[in-house]
Amino acid sequence: MTKDLLKRILATVYLLIFFIIVIFIFFNKDLFLNLNFENIKYNYEKLRTILDNNKFISISLYLFLSTIWICFVGIVSPLLLISTLLFDYFGMLLSIFSFILGSVLTFSIANLFKDYLKKVLVKSNKLPDFNEKSIFLFTIFRLVPGMPFVIKNIFAIFFNLSYKQFIFATILAEVPQVILYTYIFKKAIDTSKVYASELKLAVLTEDLFLPSILLLIFFILLFILKIKFSKYFRQMS
């Protein structure tokens, strides 16, 4: 496959995703133009009722769309919020499955263009050497916050991993994060409902205290890991 053909395929995929979002907003413009708390609450409850009555379809649709999104876009925060809103803690399991599947698909596609990608990164001086501890280093690399999955999954080909090693490292790095963020989103959603109905600031503070502490500890851990292993990833920044 040539460089121009690869660019056309990727451009087509991203344009397709963009147009789907635009079309969705266009046909639901009244919903977006009249947003307020009551409308959001009404539409949310209405959607939850529809999903509860069509669980198989809604779960299948989420798994399919989230897998495609992870494969080609890789921004996980919106998916975690949506899955928590629509499926509560069960959405955590759905996200874990679709995130891993989407990551494997990206890794497979990247392997098809491994030689081309290596040439590009060698020219740009962004190809580090991972001859030792590749699984461990890739696990640390996946913990870098703010980096889309699609970037993590593409760079995985330079860690010399097999598919089993890739899946193992992905599970090890991403599953705890999915659990943590799902818990935080769920607590925030539940607390916002109570706060909106009873206007008790104390309830909001108490319920969000533990999630805030866990998130702080998580970011401190990431900061320590980033400092300790920065020499391995400085070229990729």
Residue 65: closest CA among 42, 86, 44, 47 = 86
Does residue 197 belong to any structural domain of this protein?
yes
User: 73, 17 in Cβ contact below 8 A?
Assistant: yes
Task: Provide the total of helices (H) and of strands (E) in the chain, helices listed first.
Answer: 12, 0
Burial of 78 (0-12, 13-18, 19+ CB in 10 A): exposed
What was the pLDDT predicted at 203? 54
Q: Is residue 105 in some structural domain?
A: yes
**pLDDT value, residue 151:** 85
Residue 32 lies in a domain: no
83/93 Cα distance (integer angstroms): 9
Mean pLDDT in order along the chain per 10 residues (237 residues)? 56 67 64 54 70 86 92 87 89 94 92 76 57 75 80 86 91 89 83 57 59 70 66 51
Domain that holds residue 189: 3-27+37-236
Q: What is the pLDDT of residue 102?
A: 94
Question: Which pLDDT score, from 0 to 100, does residue 140 have?
Answer: 83
What is the domain count for the chain?
Answer: 1
**Position 58: which residue type?**
S
Residue 110 lies in a domain: yes
- pLDDT for 181 equals 87
Distance from C-alpha of 32 to C-alpha of 42, rounded to nearest angstrom = 13
Q: Helix 77-87 and helix 163-198: axis angle, to 10°?
A: 60
Within a domain: 70? yes
pLDDT of 154 reads 87
Question: Does residue 169 lie within any of the structural domains?
Answer: yes
